[in-house]
Amino acid sequence: MTYEVKVYVTLKEGVLDPQGSAVKNSLHHLGFGGVEDVRIGKVMSLRMEATEDTIDNQVKEMCDKLLANPVIEDYSYETEEVVSS
Amino acid sequence: MTYEVKVYVTLKEGVLDPQGSAVKNSLHHLGFGGVEDVRIGKVMSLRMEATEDTIDNQVKEMCDKLLANPVIEDYSYETEEVVSS
């Protein structure tokens, strides 16, 4: 079966996010003074072949091995079966 | 009111994603041959002060001016009011 998988990788709380700070400052300069905090993460959209039994384990293994750095990042994911029309 | 805003920025269809291709190749090398496509985007979590009337317009303006590049990227967002306990 074909799955659409979305993996969200975000920095753990407490880990400095210089890119987020830079964006926050830029937003302030543009006049958006109400912005108090910005954190930047990644979203990865994967299309993959897998079976219902293996999809979860495969995605977790991909995250642990490559997509996320478990020392400083958390991840979450959603899987959705692609129904061919 | 305080809002938690999530902004998802993804490359438009048809725009080359070399980072995604590199991740796909790495996943193949790790044995995940079922992966057919990988696209990489950004997710930005903002905490901001705004009113119910202005929050949508503010977020759209921030996306158009800074957070996304409308030539090659699409964005979507979710807003959620933070209820202080």
What are chain A's domains? 2-81 (3.30.1280.10)
CB contact under 8 A, A48 and B62: no
pLDDT band at A82 (very low <50, low <70, confident <90, very high): very high
Write the ipTM.
0.89
**Neighboring chain B residues of A43 at a CB cutoff of 8 Å:** 8, 10, 40-43
For the segment B5-63, what is each residue's pLDDT rounded down to a tens digit? 999 999 999 999 999 999 999 999 999 999 999 999 999 999 999 999 999 999 999 99
For the segment A57-75, what is each residue's pLDDT rounded down to a tens digit? 999 999 999 999 999 999 9
Among residues A40, A24, A29, A36, the alpha carbon closest in space to that of B49 is found at A36
Among residues B9, B42, B34, B16, the alpha carbon closest in space to that of A62 is found at B34
Write down the pLDDT at residue A83: 87
For the segment A32-61, what is each residue's pLDDT rounded down to a tens digit? 999 999 999 999 999 999 999 999 999 999
Find the residue in B nearest to A50 (Cα): B34
**What are the helix (H) ranges across chain A?**
18-29, 55-62
CB contact under 8 A, A41 and B44: yes
Count of H-run helices and E-run strands, chain A: 2, 3
Write down the pLDDT at residue A84: 76
Classify B67 as helix, strand or coil.
helix
Among residues B60, B50, B46, the alpha carbon closest in space to that of A34 is found at B50
**Neighboring chain A residues of B47 at a CB cutoff of 8 Å:** 35-37
Write down the pLDDT at residue B84: 76
**Neighboring chain A residues of B7 at a CB cutoff of 8 Å:** none
CB contact under 8 A, B43 and A67: no
Burial environment of residue B21 by CB neighbours within 10 A (0 to 12, 13 to 18, 19 or more):
middle
Is the pLDDT reported for residue A85 higher than 70? no
Which among B32, B61, B65 has the least Cβ separation from residue A62?
A: B32
**Neighboring chain B residues of A8 at a CB cutoff of 8 Å:** 43
